[in-house]
Amino acid sequence: MNALSTTHATSDCILKLIFDQQLYDEMTDVLLSFPERSLEFLSLEVQAHMQPLENITEEVSGFKRKKMIEVNTQVDEAKRLYRYILDNFPQAQLQAQLLPLLSLE
């Protein structure tokens, strides 16, 4: 078994969070303070192509810069984590998706 499969052997889903780039520091603070366990997560910069764009830079470039965080977890924990984020960072406007992890074997 490789390190990835042993590290996340109990995970059955990915909680994906997408939010404005300027909220990144506060969002990571909330995630790192999750009381149930120390979370490991992946963060990426993404380009959101959407309407309406909010300023001239976005209108010229055609996209808005966002951050995306992915947490490998269990479904029940993902729901508790999402509620924890909303309770501790209520001003955050974010998009959340819960995706199943499928076996590639």
pLDDT in tens, 40-51: 999 999 877 665
HSE-CB at 66 with a 13 A cutoff on CA atoms is 20
Does residue 64 sit in helix, strand or coil? Answer: strand
Number of neighbours of residue 78 by Cβ within 10 angstroms: 21
- Is 3-99 in CATH node 2.30.140.10? no
pLDDT in tens, 46-103: 877 665 556 555 555 567 788 999 999 999 999 999 999 999 999 989 999 999 998 8
Q: Where are the domains of the chain?
A: 3-99
Instruction: With CA atoms as reference, report the closest residue to 37 among 72, 70, 3.
Output: 72
The pTM for the full model equals 0.76
For residue 73, the one-letter residue type is T
